[in-house]
Amino acid sequence: MPIPGPALSARIEPNGTAPELIRNFCIIAHIDHGKSTLADRMLQLTGVVEPRAMRAQYLDRMDIERERGITIKSQAVRMPWQLGDQAHALNMIDTPGHVDFTYEVSRSLAACEGAVLLVDAAQGIEAQTLANLYLAMENDLEIIPVLNKIDLPAAQPEKYAEELANLVGGDPQDVLKVSGKTGAGVEALLDRIVERIPAPVGDADAPARAMIFDSVYDTYRGVVTYVRVIDGNLSPRERVVMMSTRATHELLEIGVISPEPIVTKGLGVGEVGYLITGVKDVRQSKVGDTVTNAGKPAAEALGGYSDPKPMVFSGLYPVDGTDYPALRDALDKLKLNDAALNYEPETSVALGFGFRVGFLGLLHLEIVRERLEREFDLDLISTAPNVVYDVTLDDGTEVKVTNPSEFPGGKIKEVQEPVVRATILAPSEFVGTVMGLCNDRRGQMLGMDYLSEDRVELRFTLPLAEIVFDFFDHLKSRTRGYASLDYEPSGDQAADLVKVDILLQGEQVDAFSAIVHKDKAYDYGVMMTAKLKEIIPRQQFEVPIQAAVGARVIARETVRAMRKDVLAKCYGGDISRKRKLLEKQKEGKKRMKNIGSVEVPKDAFIAALSSDGAGGKETKDKKK
């Protein structure tokens, strides 16, 4: 019986389990490779969830996660598993799967001794999985390669077993083959986890040190902090210190998740669980921070902590200006649960009052935007995403630019832009295509490796700004959907960048200002002026639309003056219709914004801003 009976279970009670009986692991997988389904199956097989209580993808709590099939916030579930005559406590630590959350992933990995590398047997490994695999191997995790979805007709387990064996070392025969859907091979995987993954090691008598790998805001409980105990022991009612901030809190509650919270008398070496201290803001419980005992504090924090740093900025504006306070309240609420979210108010001539919001990346941006619209019922316009520039002026002043319209106009000595190290996996036939695209985007090739006969890994340095626009969409469409992308920050570089302003009748439209490479300024100007010409309705006077770099106009279009609006017959049977049309036009007028004396429908801004495509989205379609 793989589920231990009462006698054996007594030996794996929380706060009383010997480290040798604990296995801490995570699952590394690409978004749609079936991680959640496999996790669900494990919950069922270990008996912690009754089959009838099983919700599909139990661990993905938020609606958006469920619908998009992505896991934003990790959780840790404790499961019993018997191998031979011994019961074990398995802690499955869920990791975010997306590149925007690399730091969170690295902290989740640091809480584990091993990782299940889960790959779709019909698709092979993807670039993001590769990135997380590198992270796991750097953390010296034991890797258990597993092919999932072997029940699919398109599965090619032999081919991909070889690919995995090449990557992690070992024999293709050792690659486990499972189906999360049917449950085939999952018991063998649980056995393998117990056999292969090392037990945690720590000093039970040392001052307590526990690493925070996640913190989540709960409306009723306040912040729930997930920790992995490295040394010592944490107990309820004692005072703890967050070592990065020196803030002290009382441990109101301590427990494990299985998969509902179970209050325990504490957590010992190697154990994974949650803490509640009554704080209300996740910023007081920072991922990567070390928790220690206030009375008997550890001398040194665990390594690897860093503050989240926003990489991508976008202006968020309510379509209806009166929603501004509601947007502010909504951001304040989201912030409680998202330590990486930061924002400050800004005003746009074109869009009114809104916020400049910093994000970890594009997916983070999309998720925040979607949550604002869905959970808070807000109708939003977002400006094209941009990165942060460090500008040094001739007089040595340094300016950080998070909004293109604030790019300084004076004499500029140097502009630094963030760059990333991008990894792209693609079938070998697309190597030329991918190289061409990266070249267009100012990429520099770092290297290239064949993963298998027909799959290639290409590595580039690319300006982040070139990726946030529409890079991913282009990559996907030019490789018929086969390429996958991963990137990580890789410092800054000096670049020849200029700000292109868009002017309507001489008035700058701040929402359309963009910072682009000098060589691309003309293209941007031509593209944007042409697009605006299409969507700005004719006015009673001629409206020039110009793109300018400083005082130099680089592109120009003209919206000709409107000459007539009504000349149709107006007879008795037509009066109602005419009146209603007019009432409708007047209603439409309320959705107009004035740029100088030019009336622009707000929808035109939305159209101009949205059709650029925010790129970078790699999420599953809504599950059918």
> Given the complex with other proteins, which of 306 and 558 has the nearer CB atom?
558
Among the residue ranges 26-34, 270-278, 417-425, 570-578, the one whose residues contact other proteins (CB under 8 A): 570-578
> Given the complex with other proteins, which of 154 and 567 has the nearer CB atom?
567
Determine, following the binding rule CB under 8 A, whether residue 303 of this chain makes contact with other proteins: no
Q: Could you please report the per-residue DSSP string of 540-579?
A: SS-EEEEEEETTEEEEEEEEPPP--S--S---GGGHHHHH
Cβ 577 to other proteins shortest distance, Å: 7
One of 5, 518, 570, 620 touching other proteins (CB under 8 A): 570
Cβ 590 to other proteins shortest distance, Å: 12
d(CA 147, CA 125): 10
Determine, following the binding rule CB under 8 A, whether residue 564 of this chain makes contact with other proteins: yes
> Given the complex with other proteins, which of 538 and 623 has the nearer CB atom?
538
Determine, following the binding rule CB under 8 A, whether residue 578 of this chain makes contact with other proteins: yes
284's tokens: 């007081």
One of 171, 205, 395, 565 touching other proteins (CB under 8 A): 565
Determine, following the binding rule CB under 8 A, whether residue 568 of this chain makes contact with other proteins: yes
Determine, following the binding rule CB under 8 A, whether residue 579 of this chain makes contact with other proteins: yes
d(CA 207, CA 238): 13
Determine how many CB atoms are found less than 10 A away from the CB of residue 185: 19
> Given the complex with other proteins, which of 165 and 592 has the nearer CB atom?
592
> Given the complex with other proteins, which of 450 and 541 has the nearer CB atom?
541
d(CA 252, CA 275): 8
List 144's β-bridge partners, or say none: 116
Cβ 555 to other proteins shortest distance, Å: 24
d(CA 490, CA 444): 13
Determine, following the binding rule CB under 8 A, whether residue 562 of this chain makes contact with other proteins: yes
Determine, following the binding rule CB under 8 A, whether residue 584 of this chain makes contact with other proteins: no
Which pairs count as long-range contacts for 522-526, CB under 8 Å and 24+ apart, including other chains? 522/554, 522/555, 524/500, 525/500, 525/549, 525/554, 525/555, 526/555
Residues 157-186 that bind other proteins (CB under 8 A): none
> Given the complex with other proteins, which of 409 and 588 has the nearer CB atom?
588
One of 560, 591, 620, 623 touching other proteins (CB under 8 A): 560
> Given the complex with other proteins, which of 446 and 581 has the nearer CB atom?
581
Cβ 565 to other proteins shortest distance, Å: 4
Determine, following the binding rule CB under 8 A, whether residue 586 of this chain makes contact with other proteins: yes
Task: Using the CB atoms, write b or e for 394-422: b if 16+ within 10 Å.
Answer: eeeeeeebbbbbbbeeeebeebbbbbbbb
Among the residue ranges 165-173, 304-312, 496-504, 574-582, the one whose residues contact other proteins (CB under 8 A): 574-582
Among the residue ranges 391-399, 469-477, 501-509, 558-566, the one whose residues contact other proteins (CB under 8 A): 558-566
Phi/psi of residue 142, nearest 5 degrees: -75, 125
Q: Which of 148, 21, 156 is nearest to 78 (CA)?
A: 21
d(CA 75, CA 228): 12
Return left, alpha or beta for 456; rule: phi > 0 is left, psi -120 to 50 is alpha, else beta: beta
Determine, following the binding rule CB under 8 A, whether residue 589 of this chain makes contact with other proteins: yes
Q: Which of 503, 560, 561 is nearest to 529 (CA)?
A: 503
Q: Which of 232, 242, 229 is nearest to 289 (CA)?
A: 242
Which residue bears the tokens 């000459």? 563
Report CA-CA distances (Å) from 346 to 118, 407, 510, 603: 44, 15, 11, 20
Cβ 576 to other proteins shortest distance, Å: 5
Report CA-CA distances (Å) from 425 to 362, 450, 623: 19, 9, 25
Among the residue ranges 149-157, 448-456, 494-502, 576-584, the one whose residues contact other proteins (CB under 8 A): 576-584
Cβ 562 to other proteins shortest distance, Å: 7
One of 7, 566, 590, 622 touching other proteins (CB under 8 A): 566
Residue pair 332/280 in contact (Cβ under 8 Å)? The answer is no
Cβ 527 to other proteins shortest distance, Å: 26
Determine, following the binding rule CB under 8 A, whether residue 572 of this chain makes contact with other proteins: yes
Residues 509-548 that bind other proteins (CB under 8 A): 540
| Pairing assessment for the beta strands 22-29 and 86-93 based on DSSP bridges | parallel
Total residues in contact with other proteins, by rule CB under 8 A: 26
Among the residue ranges 61-69, 112-120, 387-395, 555-563, the one whose residues contact other proteins (CB under 8 A): 555-563
> Given the complex with other proteins, which of 564 and 622 has the nearer CB atom?
564
Q: Cβ neighbours of residue 105 under 8 Å, at least 6 residues apart?
A: 95, 96, 132, 135
Task: Using the CB atoms, write b or e for 231-244: b if 16+ within 10 Å.
Answer: bbbbbbebebbbbe
Residues 447-486 that bind other proteins (CB under 8 A): none
> Given the complex with other proteins, which of 429 and 574 has the nearer CB atom?
574
One of 138, 195, 300, 583 touching other proteins (CB under 8 A): 583
Point out which residues bind other proteins (CB under 8 A): 540, 560, 562-580, 582-583, 585-586, 589
